[in-house]
Copies of this chain bind each other. A is one copy, B any other.
Amino acid sequence: MTSVGKPSGAEVVRPVIGKLRSLGLEGEAELQAFLKLIKVRGCLGRGEEIIDAGSSPSHSSVLLTGIACSYRRLQDGSRHIFTFHHPGDFCDLHRYVLPERNGAVAVAAITDGLVGTICHKDLDQTLVQHPKLGLALWRATMLEASIIREKLVNVSRRSALQRVVHLLCEQLARREAIGINCATIPLNQVDLADAAGLSVVHVNRTVQGLRMLGVLTPDSRSIEVTDKKRLLQIANFDARYLSMPKVLSNWTIDTQ
A residues contacting B by CB (< 8 A) are 72, 74-75, 78, 80, 82, 94, 97-98, 100, 102, 104-105, 127-128, 131, 134-135, 138-139, 141-146, 148-149, 151-153, 155-157, 197, 236, 238, 240-241, 243
Contact = CB atoms under 8 A, between A and B. Distances in A.
A30 to B, nearest CB: 15
Contacts of A155: 152, 155-156, 197
Contacts of A100: 146, 240-241, 243
A157 B97 contact: no
Copies held by the complex: 2
Contacts of A128: 131
A139 B156 CA distance: 27
A163 B139 CA distance: 30
Contacts of A94: 142, 145-146
Given A97-B135, A128-B131, A157 B74 contact: yes
**Chain A binding site: helix, strand, loop or mixed by DSSP?**
helix
A104 B146 contact: yes
A155 B148 CA distance: 13
A141 B131 contact: no
A141 B146 CA distance: 11
B148 A145 contact: yes
B241 A80 contact: no
Contact of A243 (B98, B134, B144): B98
